[in-house]
Structure 1
Amino acid sequence: MRDIKSIILYSRCAKSLFIVICITLYILLFTYFGNQNDYKSFEAKHFMENKEDANTTRQPKSTTANIVEEKYFVNTYGCHMEAMKPLATRVLPYIHRLSTVVCPRVQLLTTKIVQGKNYLFFNHSVPELRSCCGVKYLTDVSCAYEQFIRKDDVFNKRIGQQYFRLSTKRRYLEVGTGVQYLWIRCSAYGKMIYNDTLFFLPPPPPPTKKENRKPRTHEKLSVMILGIDSLSHMHYLRSFPEVATFIDRLPHTEFWGYNRIGRNTYANMLRLLTGRSPKELNGTCHSGNKTFDRCRFLWDDFKAAGYTTSYGEDSDQHDILTMHGRGFKKQPTEFYLRPVMQNIRQRTHYEARTLGKLYISMECTAGRLYEDVLYEFIYKLMPHMRQKPSFSLFWKASGVHDYFNYARTIDKDYVRILRELQELGIMNHTLILLMSDHGLRFQGTDCEGVDFTQTFQGMEEISQPLLIALYPEWMTERFPLAMANLQQNSHSLLTTFDLHETLKDVLHLEQLSDYQVTHRTFSLDNDRGISLFLPIPDERNCTTAQIPSHFCLCFKLRQISPHESSVQKAAQFVLDSINDLIKPYPQCQPLRLVKVLAAYNLSGRRQKNIKHAIPKAPYYPRTTRKGEKVDYVASDNDGRAVHKIRVRLSTRPGEGRFDASVVLRPRMRLDGPVTRTDKYKSKSYCVNDYGIEMFCNCL
């Protein structure tokens, strides 16, 4: 008979307990040493994971007629763009559910239009006003409104002031007719309780009986650009599940090869709106002129064709055409939100933020977020879109530009907008581009740890913005060849130059007939801008599309050791180029290199030489300095020769993070602009130069 010791040692229970203890110790040790990894090992793991993901990712659903290999978004003769996973393992730690941002101040008044007259409507009961503002009687509240009009894109002009008091007997106050902008203030007991900017956009006159009897024809196609700043295609798939589900039930095409062509919103959208690059505009209509009044934009063409035109953004300080210039002296479109947003920023703006370690800060006016003002603008214009052909551009930047997780909070907002467009019948005669300009370039305080933009996938996503086209079903029936081309181009390399040509075609629908499309296809060149109603040539690459190598997703990136001599020399060359650029600005401190965070070989897959290729225009020539001849041959981790490198580096002072692509041979030179991936606005307050501010750390 076994003794007690033997029973304890050799029993099944003891063996099981021993195994559990061993597994627990293994997990604890693995977790401990795993957490000791520095930035370099984190980046290396992320790079390898995406390399594996590219081989296993299934191609998202698409209406394209092409059969595309599963691991590529684009797989043509001129471009191989590897697929990404929206929910790759290394992305998951950055995803958090944000608390709703509430603007805490009272929304005392709203606007209403009744029988063509504009009214301010008192929006609260007396008990609510007592609770929020300590007001006992409505008669204790005295108010004044100032009407203002737009002078130009920098200044508004006040044209009158009226005083009034709130009353329980009268909840409406008539203020005028037509388009009106009002700045309103209310106070009680010597304290301001309401400060807001409101606007009126009257609906169009009702159609006559004759117009009501006349059936709606499709002679003209309206255009709506619904833009969401800093939204990559992958981030759309992560953040807009309800929008994606809604769109799946509609005729649409999702474009997987849409590649950014410029550093920021201005550079990308200017190509869409004018068909020209910023440099080309500076050499022509914008030369020596701080406004864009002499430049021709797409809305000018649509206006000349009898369309109603509208343009609105949920900011005036960081909007597309005034952030780096003075915008327009003459109002560019018939309906224009900028005067409202300008008055909000100057007179009624304040900030609200969520609580906690992972917080966000948003801009408000009274009880509304900036985005609510943009949504109000869109909804008030829908009666006009319903009745008359229209061209509209609505651009949202607040929140999504700065915070990784904010996009998820506006999913329902855009479903409501799309549903309203559908229910009002506007979708039945409108081409809608749901799009962005680039992916997230900065990370805010809604995430912790290493910035998402510093990961390999974060770097790649910056250059793959969202683009989805929604169109009426009758277009496929009326223009079968043009729409087949549109769907086939869903897996072609595209830029905003192509979108410009596409929207020009909308003005001339007769050009989309099968006969015209066939005729135009025979004479098609491999140009930088091609209408999506025509077939994008398989030979197109980043050179012919004029996409700088630094933004080009057709390259297969292969990691290089940051300690390679070629990498260190390239990083120092980038730093010297930046310091040469800021040298004429004594208020900017010279930068010094802290660390090369990562490096990649851009020469692993050379783009094929295409006949009739358009030579690539130089970008930011001021940042290019003459480099030394390179008499060495570097190699990447796979043993391939290196001729072109992308480096990611950190600098001081200012803790800057920069990315740049450098050609090594025969002489070093920058291949495209240097980009920055950390927030720098508060550090560059001493300069007001678009080309300098991202490099300047003020003394």
Structure 2
Amino acid sequence: MKRKNYAILMMLLIVLAMYMATIKMMKTRVIHSPTVTSHFLVDTEVCRMPNVDPFDSSIKSLVKYKNFIKCRGVTPLTFQEGQILRLNMGVINTKYKRQFSYCEYHGINRGNNMDDNKYQYTPHGTIFNKDIVVTEQFIRVKCYDKSHRVIYSNYHAFILQQPTRLQQLKTRFSKHNEENEPRETLNVVMIGVDSVSRLNLIRNMPTTRDYLLRHLGAIELQGYNKVADNTFVNIVPITTGRFVEELPWDEQKRGEPMDKYNFIWKNFSSCGYTTLYAEDYPQTGIFNYLKRGFHVPPADHYYRPFALAVDGDKSVWTTDHHCVGDRFETDMILNYTTEFMKLYNRVPYFGFSFLTRLTHDSISNTASADILYSNMFRDIHNQGLLNNTVLIFFSDHGMRFGAIRKTYIGKLEERLPMMFLVFPKWFYKKYPQITQNLKINQNRLTTPFDIYETLEDILYFTGGVTDDIDVQQRGISLFEEIPVSRTCDHAGILPHWCTCMSQQELSTNDQFYNMSVNYLIDYINQQFVLNNVTDICWPLKLGRTKSVHIIKNNDKLLKFKQSLNDVINRTVSYNEKRVHSTYIFQVAVSLMPGSGEFEAAVRYDETSRNFTMAGDISRINKYGHDSDCVHGSLLRKLCYCK
């Protein structure tokens, strides 16, 4: 009997141990995966946006972490402190001993030309062999030994005040206060990171996200949906409140600069705010890739001449062109932005920085940026630089090509970039109604157009909210409550990009399966005819149909399916009194030659029985140099050069 009791006791202990181990394992998993509190990021009658697991098994093999990128350049002989360039005498005395002779810097500037792709060095350099106060905003440094041989090269970017310009801005600001009477004056700093979805941020930048949410009280827009394909066409709505086509900007007029358009930083500048504009990768600049950029610098502090100079000097780059010596290129931009915030802490300012190179082509490189961004946010917070500043940390879209883009989750990620807004803590307390609306809007359908309207509200801040918002309004300030009745159509999101839609795959014997595929291929080939490039682009033919889905608002999918069956089975002519219906199909194909993979939404009109496009065409694999014979973003995605 004792043996039996002993055996039972041992079994109970084993079961208890297994239970405790399971609990421990579950707790461990929670650390690495977000807690799912709802099946939807947005859950309204007209928009249900799926809340998927960032670590879902379907993409597990595609989101493995690589080794963190580390800058392994030589220890620098020069470094910055404010406006002072210091010599690292410890390194000089140990590494170069008696070889070191002197250093010299030359300024880098745009000159008097109107070409956004040009820069020049000042003809006369400044020689120094001790710490020196720099008088140029951008400099190239070279140090020499006693035989006048270069032993060191580096680049430094400084934020230097411009007294005459500051006086002009002071006058503008006084006029702005007198005429518009803003209730608060808030600075704005926008920091954008190319191709980072909300899900990829959760996976690869957990420290940054945690700091934003827990320490800065950030508003995370979980239902933030892009409105177009690539960087340019998503940044224009944020900065102008318009689609590119509405500017209007003619892609074929490649010699036309961007100066005439009313970007948001112009609005702030006209009201007396000092401005900054900085990008890291000059070849792919938002307003420079396949464009002419700006004839006149768009901001008081314009980083582009410096970026061009550094990018052109192969001798200073290390670690796959991510580091300048021992410094991350990303960190150089972030430091430049921080110095801007520090120098102008007591006057109103607007800063726009956008970083591309590290994250554009790799979903896993984002992990290497985590410590860089979290450190910056911690530094500007600890230095009190956010006490009167709105920080907007955002992306343009998720990864647009590659293996993960071919998955369902990757398709969602492409359309749902990260978007965070941080307001001063006093602001949340002083304006409780706005704060409540901001929190509600975290789980409403939002877009780049809403960010533009919010920026306008910050500039002309009244402190009040509107009780009744028109849902037909394309852009709605986040200070207002986004209506629960808002659809993608209201928000200016074409069906191809809308993540409120449910989808159901069609069978291969469905008549719309082949009809929609054939329409898309015909449409693509027609673009070659319309743009007169049939002599240089091969006509495309079907290689493989990957899928055809029917898409519709979640709550209407079942009705939609039934109606579609009616359409398919109907052989008689339509009654004129029948309710007009349209159906949207999302088609994914691989076309030959070139094996280009395309995805597009096409619309079928039940009355006319005609197909039309329902948005852009996505290219979901890289085209490299296949389309170098053509210009324009659409043709470069489609053309396979002869």
Match of 1:499 among 451, 455, 458: 451
Is 1:597 matched with 2:597?
Answer: no
Counterparts of 1:192 and 1:654, CA distance in 2? 47
User: What's 2:122 paired with?
Assistant: 159
Counterparts of 2:34 and 2:49, CA distance in 1? 13
Match of 1:339 among 298, 305, 311: 305
Given that residues 439 and 461 in structure 1 are in contact (C-alpha distance below 8 angstroms), is that contact kept between their aligned partners in structure 2? Answer: yes
Counterparts of 2:126 and 2:378, CA distance in 1? 40
Match of 1:667 among 610, 613, 622: 610
SS at match of 1:672: strand
User: What's 1:688 paired with?
Assistant: 631
User: What's 2:274 paired with?
Assistant: 308
User: What's 2:521 paired with?
Assistant: 575
User: What's 1:622 paired with?
Assistant: none
Comparing 595-604 and 560-569, the one that deviates more: 560-569
CA deviation after TM superposition for structure 1 residue 399, in Å: 2.1
Q: Deviations over 1:104-153 (max 9, x none)?
A: 54354434357x6x5363577258756xxxx98224xx866442311442
User: What's 1:546 paired with?
Assistant: 492
Q: Deviations over 1:45-77 (max 9, x none)?
A: xxxxxxxxxxx99655xxxxxxxxx21111223
User: What's 1:374 paired with?
Assistant: 333
User: What's 1:202 paired with?
Assistant: 160
CA deviation after TM superposition for structure 1 residue 84, in Å: 1.3
Given that residues 107 and 137 in structure 2 are in contact (C-alpha distance below 8 angstroms), is that contact kept between their aligned partners in structure 1? Answer: no
Question: Which sections of structure 2, spanning at least 5 residues, go unmatched?
Answer: 1-32, 164-181, 558-565, 571-580
CA deviation after TM superposition for structure 1 residue 189, in Å: 8.2
Given that residues 348 and 366 in structure 1 are in contact (C-alpha distance below 8 angstroms), is that contact kept between their aligned partners in structure 2? Answer: no
Output the TM-score relative to the length of structure 2.
0.80
Letter in 2 for 1:674: I
Counterparts of 2:508 and 2:639, CA distance in 1? 25
CA deviation after TM superposition for structure 1 residue 193, in Å: 5.3
Change (3 A) 1:675 1:377: same
User: What's 1:110 paired with?
Assistant: 78
Given that residues 252 and 632 in structure 2 are in contact (C-alpha distance below 8 angstroms), is that contact kept between their aligned partners in structure 1? Answer: no
Match of 1:644 among 584, 607, 612: 584
User: What's 1:419 paired with?
Assistant: 378
CA deviation after TM superposition for structure 1 residue 685, in Å: 2.4
Match of 1:82 among 25, 28, 50: 50
Given that residues 116 and 293 in structure 2 are in contact (C-alpha distance below 8 angstroms), is that contact kept between their aligned partners in structure 1? Answer: yes
SS at match of 2:486: coil
Q: Deviations over 1:412-462 (max 9, x none)?
A: 11111111111111222111122111111123xxxxxxx111011111111
Given that residues 303 and 309 in structure 1 are in contact (C-alpha distance below 8 angstroms), is that contact kept between their aligned partners in structure 2? Answer: yes
Letter in 2 for 1:412: I
Counterparts of 1:312 and 1:379, CA distance in 2? 12
Counterparts of 2:509 and 2:91, CA distance in 1? 68
Letter in 1 for 2:99: Y
Structure 2 counterparts to residues 240-639 of structure 1, below 5 A: 240-247=205-212, 248-282=214-248, 290-348=256-314, 352=318, 361-443=320-402, 451-510=403-462, 512-513=463-464, 517=465, 520-522=466-468, 524-562=470-508, 564-583=510-529, 584-585=532-533, 586-603=535-552, 605=554, 632=568
Change (3 A) 1:290 1:541: same
Q: Deviations over 1:559-608 (max 9, x none)?
A: 22356442233223222222222342233333222111222111474779
Counterparts of 1:589 and 1:187, CA distance in 2? 58
Is 1:236 matched with 2:201?
Answer: yes
Change (3 A) 1:542 1:120: same
- Sequence identity of aligned pairs in percent? 25
Counterparts of 2:145 and 2:624, CA distance in 1? 35
Counterparts of 2:290 and 2:155, CA distance in 1? 25
Change (3 A) 1:687 1:185: farther
Size of the alignment, in residue pairs? 565
Counterparts of 1:187 and 1:650, CA distance in 2? 59
Letter in 2 for 1:509: F
Counterparts of 1:145 and 1:373, CA distance in 2? 18
Letter in 1 for 2:159: L
Change (3 A) 1:688 1:363: farther
SS at match of 2:548: strand
Counterparts of 2:420 and 2:359, CA distance in 1? 18
Counterparts of 1:633 and 1:343, CA distance in 2? 65
Counterparts of 1:507 and 1:285, CA distance in 2? 31
Counterparts of 1:433 and 1:144, CA distance in 2? 38
SS at match of 2:494: coil
Letter in 1 for 2:597: R
Given that residues 147 and 182 in structure 1 are in contact (C-alpha distance below 8 angstroms), is that contact kept between their aligned partners in structure 2? Answer: yes
CA deviation after TM superposition for structure 1 residue 237, in Å: 1.3
SS at match of 2:190: strand
Letter in 1 for 2:50: E
Q: Deviations over 1:354-393 (max 9, x none)?
A: xxxxxxx444434433213212312322312433222111
Letter in 1 for 2:455: L
Change (3 A) 1:201 1:348: farther
Given that residues 100 and 145 in structure 2 are in contact (C-alpha distance below 8 angstroms), is that contact kept between their aligned partners in structure 1? Answer: no
Output the TM-score relative to the length of structure 1.
0.74
Q: Deviations over 1:146-193 (max 9, x none)?
A: 4231144221233314386x9xxx344x47415233364868989865
Change (3 A) 1:227 1:233: same
